Chain A
Amino acid sequence: MALRRAATSRAAAKAPRKVRYSSLTVNVRLLSNLALLSPALLSLAACKNMPEAYAPPDQMAPITMSRTYRITHVINMDDGDAESHFVQDIRGLNGNWRWTGKRPTARVPVRSADNLHLVMDFAIADATFKTTGPVKVTVYVNDKLAASLSCPEPGERHLDTPLPPGLVEPNKDAVIAAEIDKVWVSPTDATELGFILKRIGLTQE
């Protein structure tokens, strides 16, 4: 009997200490040992991440380029940042075009002044043409004459002409203005409409 009691008390001494928290029972000793071990386990884990050595990868062969890099500084009217380039007289977006006033003007960044072309896609609307008749559009770059285009009838026009040298400087913005000689004036609110603009800017040959 005494032996059994002693065995029982030894077993009790060896048994994990359990603490009752309300109706939850917690094995404090086991869990506290785990808690104390966890930083050691973590620090061991820190050493396990390094890779072995690598073999050389596939070698890239040179690529043949059929032409040189060309700069295109063209503002499409539906570009997300188009409005940040506008200076004046370019109105709200309709699809991929915008109405202009008399002298729509935009600013484009120029990173190179070599072999630049002035490009502009625009249209003379039937509705305004009925009032204005034939019109002339003159394009200025940095306030210097770059090109002019007569529009004897309504419809779409594409301008692509070499830019005379000396009009722009590299790494400076160029201000492009396209002035129409006659505008349509709204009889109700005196709004002036020039032409329909789709894109304007400079490209590199």
Chain B
Amino acid sequence: MIQALAALLGASLTVAACYATGVLLLERLGLTLKRTEQPPLAFILGAACFHLAVFAVLAAHVAYWPVLVALCLVPIGGALAKGAWRLRGEAEAPLDYSIKRLSLVLFGLFSLLYLFHAWAPEASPDGSGYHLGYVSRYVRAHGFEWVTTNMYAALSAGVEMLYVPAFAIGRHSAAALVHFAFLIALAMAIFAYGRRLGKPWVGAAAAFLVFASPVVGIDGTTAYIDVAVAAVVFAVFYFLELWDEGRNPGALVAVGLLAGYAYATKYTAFVILPFTLLFVLWRARKLRPAITVLLYSILMVAPWMVKDYIVLKDPVAPFADTVFRNPFFHPMFESEYKELLSGPGYGITDKRTLPLEVTIRGAHPQGLLGMAFLGAPIALLALRFRAGRRLVACGVVMAALYFTNVGTRFLIPCLPFVALAMALALSTEKEKLAPVLALAMLFHAYTSWPSQLEHTASPGAWKLDNKILYRQALRLMPQERYLRESFAGYGAAMLVDSAVPKGERVLAMGEVPQSYTARDILISYQSAFNERLVDTVNMGWADGFQARVADKFSFPERTSTRIRILQTANPGDAHFQWGVHELRFFDKGVEVPRRPEWRLKAWPNPWDVQLAFDNNPATRWRSWEVAVPGQYVDVDFGRPEAVDEVRVEHAWDYKTKLELQEFAGGAWSKLADTPRSSPIEPPAFLRKAATRELLRSGIHYLLVGDGDFASQDIRDDPEFWGLTQIASGSGIRIYRVVP
């Protein structure tokens, strides 16, 4: 029960701090909102500012829980002292009794379901994996850590910053409850927008379409961030409308802060910023208001870009790796990651199936919007209203990047606009079509309730369970038991904590929910370092990764100071990269010893060039981007060296073409381009060479899922690998690397 109360306290304090910050800022900006607008918009605006305060505390490495509590109490105290809490704006016209009654029942039912789900122990994959993974890490470290081995730590984390104080007080569930607060705020804001339009039925129906959408329900009640992103984006739109109505410059400040915060919450939400700038330019016909928006947005964007540039040399890490070259993320990973998320990674090969997948089935794109959204095209009828045109325009902008990631939850940020436009399309001047909207709400409630989804959604769709988790939320069922029974990853995380000493890093071939372990888990694909080590492990056993061919370039003995191998072919394969296991030089059949004076270079991926010169058959230099002509590995001997043969050892590869070049007289000239190829047998110690490389890289523990690529080979003879199995269970095995 104490865990339940702590979660509630952590969330309440964070939400209250956001709201207090928001009302203080609204007062300072001279913005007076209507009574129904103030709570959601103040909360969201306050969240934007409060996230910067948490960012500063983490940057200063003083994120101890008393500091975080004080950070929450300062704005709360300030707002109380100034009396800013009270609703100051004008009251709207009273609501129709039928709206009140229907909304109370429908929102009440879903709120009950959602509240207990959010309050229950966190068992969502991404929430417990990375959203809270690095939140828990920062809380343990009392500040930001230089995380270069986890791409998710590179993403902007504007919502996760709010999870920090909540988590410090109430752990995982507190963070999920903060996200749930965003869901409520979003619904309230949509409702308020409808009332501002003079169409409360439109507001109520649209708010409910969003609120009860199954993917919104599960996302907004876990420690994900998508619903918060949607709330922020909608708040940008709302303040834009307020500015357009009254031309209060203070509204532009709010717009700028929130548009910047949208980027801070999720990279893909940055599209709201250009939309905002264009809208302001169009409406004001002046540059200055747009500059104001831009400047305030930079306040929110800059900390994240600067942090990424300092830590990862790339302000938009893990993206744009070919512009901001860095040793932490591979361009090949970036391109393959984008390709996977655009469909294949979800098992979607035919995008024509998407409308049914994202509305009804939900298994492939991980979640469903609800059957009612099959009627989304009706939103186009709202184009007859000015508000409708604006809503549709903003919705289209927010959906612009959807095909870069076809997961259903990536549609959540455009959902408020679509829902409002759909409801608006069904409205008339005097809301004569209110019964249609009421029926739409009832239909959506019926088809989106978890028990009904059991019949209509595909098995495996990401959605809420058909039960109200009050026993789990109130911890009447112990948290430990619930997590062990319902979340396989939890057991794995506990196993890691019990088997691996503190401070050790674990190379993981599979996934582990990082927020439940205090060990540093290096998941296979999440950084260049991890990918390189996994490549090494795979070289230990999989022949496709091993050096199997030696290309020998022979020529009359000559004295050279600098030689390079140039790749000249264009394989035209977006997944093919060039690699060199070892590059050796010979004279009269004897290998020229590698001297410390040699200077090695490679392009691309210059950071790993030493791997082609370490005499370890389980390492290799790879381009880690698509093989194209012009890529090279270059050796400057530092003095004239007699050479008559150059040997390039690499994996089976029929796509590259190599040319040997010598640097003389200030230019490169061809030495040879027709090597003799001969097969290589990998040495018996290859597996052990792989684990030696792990040790050399500071990795003493290896986590392998029972279904992972190398699992069978390692478990068949761990001793031969130089590994000792120290724990197994929950679908994983943990090995210690034997020194």
Q: A residues bordering B, Cβ < 8 Å?
A: 19, 21-24, 26, 28, 31-32, 34-35, 38, 42, 45-46, 48-51, 53-65, 67-73, 76, 78-81, 84, 109, 111
Given A42-B315, A54-B610, A70-B716, are A49 and B324 neighbors across the interface (CB < 8 Å)? Answer: yes
**A47 closest partner in B (C-beta):** B325
Q: How far is the CA of A100 from the CA of B346 in the complex (A)?
A: 39
Q: How far is the CA of A61 from the CA of B712 in the complex (A)?
A: 28
Q: How far is the CA of A72 from the CA of B712 in the complex (A)?
A: 9
**B611 closest partner in A (C-beta):** A57
Contact of B288 among A23, A28, A49, A57 (CB under 8 A): A28
Given A28-B292, A46-B325, A72-B716, are A55 and B728 neighbors across the interface (CB < 8 Å)? Answer: no
**Interface flag for B105 (CB, 8 Å):** no
Per-residue 0/1 for B541-555: is the Cβ within 8 Å of any A Cβ (1 yes, 0 no)? 000000000000000
Q: How far is the CA of A23 from the CA of B325 in the complex (A)?
A: 43
The answer to whether A53 touches B599 (Cβ under 8 A) is: yes
The answer to whether A55 touches B716 (Cβ under 8 A) is: no
**A21 closest partner in B (C-beta):** B249
Q: Which of B72-80, B475-483, B685-693 contacts A (4 or more CB under 8 A)?
A: B685-693
**Interface flag for B609 (CB, 8 Å):** yes
**Interface flag for B375 (CB, 8 Å):** no
Residues facing A in B212-268 (CB within 8 A) are: 248-250, 252-253
Q: Which of B43-51, B359-367, B522-530, B729-737 contacts A (4 or more CB under 8 A)?
A: B729-737
**Interface flag for B715 (CB, 8 Å):** yes
The B interface, classified by DSSP as helix, strand, loop or mixed, is: mixed
Q: How far is the CA of A84 from the CA of B730 in the complex (A)?
A: 13
**B252 closest partner in A (C-beta):** A21
Nearest-Cβ distance from residue B374 to partner chain A, whole angstroms: 38
The answer to whether A46 touches B323 (Cβ under 8 A) is: yes
The answer to whether A35 touches B720 (Cβ under 8 A) is: no
Selected A-B contacts with CB under 8 Å, 9 pairs: A19-B292, A21-B253, A32-B294, A45-B315, A49-B313, A55-B596, A64-B685, A72-B715, A81-B706
Nearest-Cβ distance from residue B85 to partner chain A, whole angstroms: 19
The answer to whether B29 touches A79 (Cβ under 8 A) is: no
The answer to whether B295 touches A31 (Cβ under 8 A) is: yes
**Interface flag for B455 (CB, 8 Å):** no
Residues on B with C-beta less than 8 A from A42 are: 305, 315
Contact of A22 among B28, B323, B683 (CB under 8 A): B28
Residues on A with C-beta less than 8 A from B282 are: none
**A38 closest partner in B (C-beta):** B298
Given A28-B292, A32-B291, A38-B298, are A60 and B598 neighbors across the interface (CB < 8 Å)? Answer: no
Q: B residues bordering A, Cβ < 8 Å?
A: 28-31, 248-250, 252-253, 288, 291-292, 294-295, 298, 305, 309, 313-315, 323-327, 594-601, 606-607, 609-610, 613-616, 636, 683-685, 687-689, 692, 706-707, 712, 715-717, 720, 728-733
Residues on A with C-beta less than 8 A from B733 are: 80
Given A35-B291, A45-B315, are A21 and B29 neighbors across the interface (CB < 8 Å)? Answer: yes
Q: How far is the CA of A58 from the CA of B610 in the complex (A)?
A: 9
Residues on B with C-beta less than 8 A from A22 are: 28-31, 248-250, 253
**A203 closest partner in B (C-beta):** B716
Residues on B with C-beta less than 8 A from A65 are: 684-685, 688, 720
The answer to whether A56 touches B594 (Cβ under 8 A) is: yes
Contact of B685 among A53, A62, A70 (CB under 8 A): A62
Q: How far is the CA of A61 from the CA of B692 in the complex (A)?
A: 11
Contact of A81 among B250, B295, B685, B707 (CB under 8 A): B707
Contact of A56 among B292, B600, B683, B707 (CB under 8 A): B600
Residues on A with C-beta less than 8 A from B249 are: 19, 21-22
Contact of A109 among B295, B595, B712 (CB under 8 A): B712
Q: How far is the CA of A199 from the CA of B379 in the complex (A)?
A: 62
Residues on A with C-beta less than 8 A from B716 are: 69-73, 111
Q: How far is the CA of A61 from the CA of B614 in the complex (A)?
A: 10
Extra contacts besides A22-B31, A56-B594 (19): CB < 8 Å = A21-B250, A21-B252, A22-B30, A31-B291, A46-B323, A53-B601, A53-B636, A54-B599, A54-B609, A55-B600, A56-B610, A57-B614, A62-B685, A63-B685, A65-B685, A68-B684, A71-B717, A72-B716, A80-B728
**B541 closest partner in A (C-beta):** A69
**B299 closest partner in A (C-beta):** A31
Q: How far is the CA of A171 from the CA of B653 in the complex (A)?
A: 25
The answer to whether A60 touches B614 (Cβ under 8 A) is: yes
Nearest-Cβ distance from residue B154 to partner chain A, whole angstroms: 15
Q: How far is the CA of A50 from the CA of B601 in the complex (A)?
A: 11
Given A53-B601, A56-B594, A63-B689, are A24 and B298 neighbors across the interface (CB < 8 Å)? Answer: no
The answer to whether A62 touches B728 (Cβ under 8 A) is: no
Residues on B with C-beta less than 8 A from A46 are: 323-325
Given A22-B29, A56-B595, are A80 and B729 neighbors across the interface (CB < 8 Å)? Answer: yes
Nearest-Cβ distance from residue A10 to partner chain B, whole angstroms: 23
Q: How far is the CA of A21 from the CA of B309 in the complex (A)?
A: 32
Q: How far is the CA of A72 from the CA of B291 in the complex (A)?
A: 68
The answer to whether B324 touches A50 (Cβ under 8 A) is: no
Nearest-Cβ distance from residue A198 to partner chain B, whole angstroms: 14
Residues on B with C-beta less than 8 A from A60 are: 614-616, 689, 692
Nearest-Cβ distance from residue B299 to partner chain A, whole angstroms: 10
**B608 closest partner in A (C-beta):** A54
Residues on A with C-beta less than 8 A from B327 are: 51
Leading 7 A-B pairs by shortest Cβ distance: A81-B706, A53-B599, A63-B685, A22-B30, A56-B594, A80-B731, A60-B616
